[in-house]
Amino acid sequence: MKRVFTAAALAQFASADANEWQDRGLGQLAASKNNDLGTTACKGLDVRSWQPTGGSLANATTIQIDDSIDWRDRILCGFYVTAGGAAFLPGGASDYDFRAGVAAPSYFHGYTGIGAYSNLGTGAAVSNGNRPLSGAGAFRSYCVEVNPAFSVWLWVDPTTGSLNLYNQFGATIYPHLLILATGDTGKR
């Protein structure tokens, strides 16, 4: 969001400023009728644009994307691309041609639940070489496959609530993500 006005310490702001802030802000409300998510759930919308520092993510590797909020119990959607190399990502030497070599851009949609484990029977943590799983066993686990062709998953750490990405493509990837997340659904 762009700044609407600059506030000074102890200064009050006018209702016109508050109204303009609301008009420009990105917000979300749950639907008011016949909605299983209820009228108090899913308020607010968090948006992140992300690419890895250094531009790449090695195979069988997980990386933390964000830990500024608790990502558990949210509905995620967004877009995923893998560039042809780090140079094509924003900030790279060839970023003027960002779409060059982009393979299989995809839309994703999923639910983070209580987080992800790498073993539904033991509740083992996700780690390099041990990808997140979705399913139920002794432990319930949730992850969002962001690109089936590339075997890449978003997952949430069940103990910290941080959002992470796991690459099981079989090679290094050069990912860029645009992620939209609802507020807590109140379901888990």
Tell me the pairing of strands 143-147 and 152-156. antiparallel
Q: What's the pLDDT score for residue 104? A: 65
Q: What's the pLDDT score for residue 27? A: 63
Tell me the pairing of strands 140-141 and 135-136. antiparallel
pLDDT tens digit string along 118-171?
999 999 999 999 999 999 999 999 999 998 888 999 999 999 999 999 999 999
Q: How many CB atoms lie within 10 A of CB 124?
A: 13
Residues 179-183, mean pLDDT to the nearest whole number: 91
Q: How many CB atoms lie within 10 A of CB 112?
A: 27
Residues 20-26, mean pLDDT to the nearest whole number: 63
Residue 67 tokens read as 């830990």
Q: Is the pLDDT of residue 39 over 60?
A: no
Q: What's the pLDDT score for residue 128? A: 98
Predicted model pTM: 0.84
Neighbouring residues of 111: CB distance < 8 A, sequence distance ≥ 6: 74, 75, 76, 142, 144, 185
Residue 28 pLDDT grade (very low, low, confident, very high; cuts 50, 70, 90) = low
Collapsing DSSP to helix, strand or coil, 77 comes out as strand
Q: What's the pLDDT score for residue 8? A: 74
pLDDT tens digit string along 68-112?
999 999 999 999 998 889 998 889 998 888 877 676 689 999 999
Residue 159 tokens read as 């103990």
Phi, psi of 22, rounded to the nearest 5 degrees: -65, -35
DSSP 125: P
Measure the N-to-C terminal CA separation of the chain; round to a whole number of Å.
30
Rounded alpha-carbon distances, angstroms, from residue 108 to 16, 57, 187: 38, 19, 20
Residue 40 pLDDT grade (very low, low, confident, very high; cuts 50, 70, 90) = low
Highest mean pLDDT among 20-29, 34-43, 122-131: 122-131
Among residues 148, 147, 123, 150, the alpha carbon closest in space to that of 135 is found at 123
